[in-house]
Chain A
Amino acid sequence: MSSSAENSPGTACEFTENLDLLRQTYFFSRLPLESLKVFAYLGTREKLNDGEYLFRQGEEDDQAYCVVAGRGCLERSDNGSRRDLREIGPGDFIGGLTLLGEARRLYSLRAVGEIVCLELKREKFAKAVQQFPDQMPRIFRAVVEAVVSWEARFLLELGGDCGRCLPRLGVSLL
């Protein structure tokens, strides 16, 4: 049961760090260690330099990202003008939905300084999930809860400022 019993001392390595990182994400946190290990193993780390893009708006990206170190900035371009939305940093998890199905990116993610991310490709995720079919409902539940609580928080904090956007609220009703 305990992972410390399995890992003899002196093996602190990328894999264990990846495992800890994934365990903290909403997406993977409910999975038992057995399957979590496989996802942590299948992830790869990439380092990007300042100004490089992890993904771009309009692209059909096929992976999810967990920031290991450094910072990135989410941006959106409309009619040629670029706006920075917010920064993300270590521990942030982006693109869980990408693992579940194909979708075009609505935003771009740009490295601000050097950034290291743990990346998990949809193809690998799908292969692994096939081995743990009973975990899929847990993942779906986590995603549903994340979407609902995201919108709940949004309404709580910013619902009053919505104005013209009001008729389009309700992503949790999808």
Chain B
Amino acid sequence: MGRADRPIVRRSLFSWVFDGNLGWQLLLLAVIAVVVVARVLPLEMQKRIVNQAIHLRDLDRLLLYCGFYLAAVLLANGCKYAINILETLIAQRVLKRMRSALFDHILSLPLSFFRDTQPGTVVNAIAIELVPPSNFAGSAVSTPVANVLTLLAFAGYLFWLNPLLAAVSLSIYPAAMVAIPFLQRRANWANQKRVDLSRIFAGRIAESIGGMHEIHGHGAYRLERRKFDRLAEELRKIRIVWSLYRYAVKGANNLFTGLGPFLVFLMGGYLAIRGELELGALVAFLSAQEKLYDPWRELIDFYQVYQDGAVTYRRTMEFFDVAPEHAREPSGRPSVELDGRLEVKHLTFTTESGIRLLDDVNLELNPGEHLALVGFSGSGKSTLALCIGQLYAYGEGQVMIGGQEVAALTKQDMAANVGMVFQSPFMFEGSIAENLLYATEAAAPEGEGPSRPSLDDIIAVLHHTGLFADVLRFGLNTVLPAGSHPELARALVRVRHKFQDRYGEKFRDALEFFDENRYQLFSSVADNLMFGAPHREEFSAARIGRNDYFRRFLEREDLNPLLLEIGETLARQTVGILGNLPPDAVFFEQSPIPAEELPRYKAVLEHLRRGPRNLLPPEDAHSLLELALRFTPGVHKMAGMGPKVQAVLLEKRGRFRSAVARDLPDAFAFYAASEFIHSQSILNNIVFGNLTTASSPVLDRITQNIIQLLIERDLLETIVDIGMRYNIGSKGEKLSGGQRQKLAIARAFLKAPRLLIMDEATSALDNRSQARIQNLLETRWKRRSTLIAVVHRLDIIQNFDKIAVMKAGKIIESGSYTELVARKGALYELIGRK
């Protein structure tokens, strides 16, 4: 298909109607042909029932014609349903294809396009604006064909019955065709005015509310009221005009459809009285006349669908009609293999607005040489790096990697040979492992399964980049559900004993050990009451609040009033702090109310304002109870828990335990030093308690000791493997900036590219991590991969093979560190200034 070669943004809307849907559309036409016949048939049957069956008092004929009538009605409705299904099918196929094609096109647009384009615009285009065009494509054939055919069939039938009467009754349609669009245009105009005015109106109200203290301060109530009234009055007028036109359109439509039968009665009655028209024909005429209205209206609606579809389609496609700068895949050859030689000759890069960011840059690097680009912000370092990486299309000059011009290479060629680490690396929703393999998988040729790096390679990279400790910590924070890793669970209990023996005393301050006789401030209220891991799902943390047995216990022990009070305090405090914040992990990681439940608790608080706690609707009371059960004073710092409350809950823990022992002896495994706790993380299992600090030096020391114990038991890799499955959240939001950078470096290293481009890639790392990466580059990657590093911190550049100092888009000085320092030029001055 020739269309496939044309970019999606240049395709016409009509091309989607048949492309790939030809079979469906033909089937649709066949069904339409049936439906048109099935719509006209009842009219003829009506006539025959009146004229022949009733008039001649022939029961057999009555039954026969009624049978035909019924069959036709059933067939028409069945077919109509089939048509709707087919239309939906085609529309959804088109929508999916349009979305995929447009998204694919957008992916390959140059980066400059996205600087001026809001993400929301792209989301809107793909998610919403393609819907009307696809709806149009679904009905583009069926609706006009079906309705025009129906109209023609009815009209033809009318003319066949009585040409004169047909001509008279159809004469109203031309009049309608003039009057209704005219009224509609007026209504649209009024509507536009109404929308504009409403916007001003809303702005004025917002302004008044915003300046409320001024209004109060000046006592300017009358003044504000007058300003408001003026606008409200204008709005009133235009809304009336708008409504008048809208009802006029409706009224005119009704009038025209009402006039039809009137003309038929007048004219047809006259003809019938004179014996020139049979009574049956008159009945058929009236029915047909009435039925003309439906296809007519559908055609008018379809015109609207077409207009909507065509306009949004054109706008959307025009907006994205930008050509990609490079081909994505090489055609007819595998990706090239480049050696790491880099030559930059007379490279100049000018922005669209004419600002020259790079000016005649020349550079040469042998395979495996390392270059540091330094200079002030805005000197063009990053631009140069991005030009070399093909992310910016340069205008003049040449960039050659392994003797090949970068501008002429495809994206796949670049991906196979070049690794990139950006200053603010982006991570995608998914596990650590998925993000780590992102670059490797992307570089694999299409169709071939990605050659997955071995676990050893992966673990080596984690060690090199310093990500190992982080991944281990994610692994340690994982909860192992009952039955998932029985061997591991047993082994971890042994690790627990060792930890207690060796380090229990040492970390007393940083840990809160599980102790039957103490309230745990770092466990939830529910955990404190149960103090055990449930064997049954119905006692799990997520469902405990709805568990009948547990609720009866709370009732019996009279705990509900206390819990409701805790819940209310917590809801008040949390909503007061986080009520208007976006659902970002930073804000909600210490919140007992997750972002998605915030509206629910706002509603509960609203209800509490109107009535006392004990009169709350059961659902609200339940929400507060759930919240109280989650309350963990050590984490949810917005509220406190006094010693009296702790004592009460501690006493109830004992009572719960004896109740369970009596009623449900196998429902819980109470915390015991000899059992793995499946409701707690691996870390909490090892230390047999909760951490009470987030201070990294302390955590590091604890982790170090645990690593030692895990190595002794040969469990380290298992835990790391579990940690690799940790989901880092949307945009990697659950990682710190430093962790994201380490992950970005790790994924580039894992690809072992010939050319490595690092744009301030270690800026978010602490000293130790930065030194580790620097050391790694020198020992492991020198002479293996050519490196271009944009560097902000000058204390790490001594060991680079070459240093290029940039200023105002030019390389003003280059050479080795010692040479440049000895020369006492630009670098010397830069170092001095820092």
Of A18, A47, A52, A59, the contact of B767 (CB 8 Å cutoff): A59
Contacts of A165 in B (CB 8 A): none
Judge whether A12 is part of the interface by a CB distance below 8 angstroms: yes
Which applies to chain B's interface (DSSP): helix, strand, loop or mixed? loop
Judge whether A13 is part of the interface by a CB distance below 8 angstroms: yes
Q: How far is the CB of B152 from chain A (nearest CB, A)?
A: 63
Check A59–B694 contact: CB distance below 8 A: no
Check B586–A11 contact: CB distance below 8 A: no
Of A38, A59, A60, A123, the contact of B581 (CB 8 Å cutoff): A38
A122 to B577, CA, bound (A): 19
Judge whether A41 is part of the interface by a CB distance below 8 angstroms: yes
Query: Which residues of A1-23 have CB atoms within 8 Å of chain B's CB atoms?
Result: 6-8, 10-15, 18
Check B695–A14 contact: CB distance below 8 A: no
Contacts of A58 in B (CB 8 A): 767
Check A8–B581 contact: CB distance below 8 A: no
Of A42, A59, A128, the contact of B766 (CB 8 Å cutoff): A59
A6 to B694, CA, bound (A): 29
A59 to B590, CA, bound (A): 28
Judge whether A124 is part of the interface by a CB distance below 8 angstroms: yes
Contacts of A15 in B (CB 8 A): 573, 577, 637-639
Judge whether A77 is part of the interface by a CB distance below 8 angstroms: no
Judge whether A24 is part of the interface by a CB distance below 8 angstroms: no
Check B573–A11 contact: CB distance below 8 A: yes
Q: How far is the CB of A124 from chain B (nearest CB, A)?
A: 5
Interface string of B739-776 (1 = CB under 8 A from A): 00000000000000000000000010011000000000
Check B572–A37 contact: CB distance below 8 A: no
Query: Which residues of A32-77 have CB atoms within 8 Å of chain B's CB atoms?
Result: 34, 37-38, 41-42, 44, 46-48, 52, 58-60
Q: How far is the CB of B624 from chain A (nearest CB, A)?
A: 13
A81 to B766, CA, bound (A): 24
Judge whether A127 is part of the interface by a CB distance below 8 angstroms: yes
Contacts of B637 in A (CB 8 A): 13-15, 18, 41
Contacts of A11 in B (CB 8 A): 569, 573, 639-640
Judge whether A79 is part of the interface by a CB distance below 8 angstroms: no
A127 to B763, CA, bound (A): 19
A8 to B639, CA, bound (A): 10
Contacts of B697 in A (CB 8 A): 52
Judge whether B737 is part of the interface by a CB distance below 8 angstroms: yes
A124 to B587, CA, bound (A): 8
A38 to B683, CA, bound (A): 30
Contacts of B651 in A (CB 8 A): none
Check A8–B572 contact: CB distance below 8 A: yes
CB-nearest residue of chain A to B736 = A123
Judge whether B576 is part of the interface by a CB distance below 8 angstroms: yes
| Residues of A in contact with B, size category | 20 to 34
CB-nearest residue of chain B to A14 = B637
Query: Which residues of B559-586 have CB atoms within 8 Å of chain A's CB atoms?
Result: 568-569, 572-573, 576-578, 580-582, 584, 586
Contacts of B584 in A (CB 8 A): 127
A8 to B697, CA, bound (A): 37
A8 to B642, CA, bound (A): 13
| Residues of B in contact with A, size category | 20 to 34
Judge whether B12 is part of the interface by a CB distance below 8 angstroms: no
Check B639–A13 contact: CB distance below 8 A: yes
Q: How far is the CB of B703 from chain A (nearest CB, A)?
A: 17
Check A46–B693 contact: CB distance below 8 A: yes
Contacts of B509 in A (CB 8 A): 47
Contacts of A13 in B (CB 8 A): 633, 637-640
Of A6, A14, A59, the contact of B576 (CB 8 Å cutoff): A6
Contacts of A7 in B (CB 8 A): 572-573
A30 to B587, CA, bound (A): 22
A42 to B586, CA, bound (A): 8
Check A131–B642 contact: CB distance below 8 A: no
Check B581–A10 contact: CB distance below 8 A: no
A38 to B575, CA, bound (A): 11
A67 to B485, CA, bound (A): 45
Check A12–B695 contact: CB distance below 8 A: no
CB-nearest residue of chain B to A7 = B573
Q: How far is the CB of B832 from chain A (nearest CB, A)?
A: 15
Check A60–B638 contact: CB distance below 8 A: no
Of B569, B580, B638, B694, the contact of A41 (CB 8 Å cutoff): B638
Contacts of A12 in B (CB 8 A): 640
Of B576, B693, B766, B767, the contact of A37 (CB 8 Å cutoff): B576
A147 to B818, CA, bound (A): 39
A123 to B640, CA, bound (A): 26
A41 to B592, CA, bound (A): 13
Contacts of B640 in A (CB 8 A): 10-14
Contacts of A10 in B (CB 8 A): 640, 642
Contacts of B695 in A (CB 8 A): 46, 48
Check A123–B737 contact: CB distance below 8 A: yes
CB-nearest residue of chain B to A18 = B637
Q: How far is the CB of A14 from chain B (nearest CB, A)?
A: 5
Check B737–A38 contact: CB distance below 8 A: no
Of B569, B573, B694, the contact of A44 (CB 8 Å cutoff): B694
Check A123–B638 contact: CB distance below 8 A: no
Check B736–A131 contact: CB distance below 8 A: no
Tell me whether A60 and B766 are in contact in the complex, defined as CB-CB below 8 angstroms, given that A38-B577, A38-B581 are known contacts.
yes
CB-nearest residue of chain A to B738 = A62
A6 to B569, CA, bound (A): 9
Contacts of B569 in A (CB 8 A): 8, 11
Contacts of A34 in B (CB 8 A): 580
For the complex of A and B, 10 pairs with smallest distance between CB atoms: A13-B640, A14-B637, A15-B638, A127-B586, A46-B695, A37-B577, A41-B577, A15-B637, A11-B639, A11-B569
List 5 A-B pairs, Cβ < 8 Å.
Answer: A6-B573, A12-B640, A38-B577, A38-B587, A127-B587
Q: Give B residues with C-beta under 8 Å from A.
A: 509, 568-569, 572-573, 576-578, 580-582, 584, 586-587, 590, 633, 637-640, 642, 693-695, 697, 736-737, 763, 766-767
- Additional A-B contacts beyond A8-B569, A128-B587 (8; CB < 8 A): A6-B573, A11-B569, A14-B637, A14-B640, A18-B637, A127-B584, A128-B586, A131-B581
